[in-house]
Amino acid sequence: MYGEVLPGTVTDLNKDEAFVQIEGYTFALDLDELTEIPELGDEVAGFLYENQAHKNKMTTVMPFVTKGVWDFAEVTNVRTDLGVFVNVGLEDKDYVVSLDDLPLEHNEWPKVGDSLMVTLDIDHKGRLWGKLADIELYTQIARSPDSELKQLMNKDEEGTVIAIRESGAFVMTESYYMGFIYTDEQGEPLHIGQHVKARVIGSSHRRLNLSMKPRAYEEITPDAQMIVAVLEHSIDKKMPYTDKSSPDDIKEYFGISKASFKRALGNLMKQRKIEQKDGYTYLK
């Protein structure tokens, strides 16, 4: 009966909860969910589950993930001996996505704060689990990019990593295109549930080919990387050096010429990573 919406009879009350009996089992319903306090013998209905404290609960506030209903849920905890916990909208209960549904390699598992597309699964013991969406489901809901590829080329797409393969990672974009990022187009090793931003470099098999590598004009030079590092470690994320600083001061502090310094500043300003005002350079 867990995971279902069922009616029951109020058999007891206290100042915080109504106790609802269904088929010989008692479920606690928080009174602050109701517009008025029920009386003994009244019938109420709600979603049934066992909370984190192993207490039978009824709620009138439906979780956004139920049996047959899929949605992205945020990862709240990771246990390598069990799986990952996801928030589906219940205040005192997270679903567990079993390690059997996750990759064998733990470095490919989602991390806290990532998102997974799940539905509610109920096992033969009546326990509730989060069931991870497979590639087939995403294929059914994905849009074909073929007719729009010209407009999409070189544009940025944001999305969620949904599967890892030896050759790369599948991504479902926020525009509901299926994407694929080959390993040599990734800026870093990816994992399930990770939010990524990548640009469109082509298409094949009704999916977008994506790249996380920076465009040529977005690449940060070693000099620019040094300037960013100085700003990141400085108080208030600022430094008293700008394109107006003297060549000697720049050479003494950074060890590079003023021309190199100005090129690095220009590169960073073009990418809107820094700004200059009142004799200072600031990290945005």
CA angle 78, 69, 84 (to 5 degrees): 5
> Distance between CA atoms of 251 and 260, rounded to whole angstroms?
10
> Distance between CA atoms of 9 and 196, rounded to whole angstroms?
48
pTM of the model: 0.74
% of the chain residues with pLDDT over 90: 83
Residue 61 near residue 89 (C-beta atoms within 8 A) = yes
143-211, what's its fold? OB fold (Dihydrolipoamide Acetyltransferase, E2P) (2.40.50)
CATH number of 71-133: 2.40.50.140
Across all residues in the chain, what is the average pLDDT? 93
In this structure, which CATH number among 1.10.600.10, 2.40.50.330, 3.40.50.1000, 3.30.70.1520 belongs to the domain 5-59? 2.40.50.330
- Residue 197: is its pLDDT beyond 60? yes
pLDDT-derived band at 92 (thresholds 50, 70, 90) equals very high
Give me the pLDDT at residue 204, please.
87
Residue boundaries of the structural domains of the chain: 5-59, 71-133, 143-211, 220-283
Tell me: the pLDDT tens digits for 108-148? 999 999 999 999 999 988 889 999 999 999 999 999 998 88
Identical fold between 5-59 and 220-283: no
Give me the pLDDT at residue 218, please.
63
In this structure, which CATH number among 3.90.1640.10, 1.10.260.40, 1.10.10.10, 3.40.1710.10 belongs to the domain 220-283? 1.10.10.10
> Distance between CA atoms of 250 and 76, rounded to whole angstroms?
47
pLDDT-derived band at 87 (thresholds 50, 70, 90) equals very high
> Distance between CA atoms of 283 and 234, rounded to whole angstroms?
10
Picking from 125, 162, 122, 124, the residue whose alpha carbon sits closest to that of residue 142 is: 162
Give me the pLDDT at residue 240, please.
94
Tell me: the pLDDT tens digits for 226-273? 999 899 988 899 999 999 999 999 999 999 999 999 999 998 998 888
> Distance between CA atoms of 94 and 89, rounded to whole angstroms?
8
> Distance between CA atoms of 56 and 237, rounded to whole angstroms?
52
Structure tokens belonging to residue 274: 């820094």
Among the ranges 69-78, 149-158, 228-237, which has the highest mean pLDDT value?
69-78
Give me the pLDDT at residue 217, please.
56
- Residue 202: is its pLDDT beyond 60? yes
Tell me: the pLDDT tens digits for 39-61? 999 999 999 999 999 999 999 99
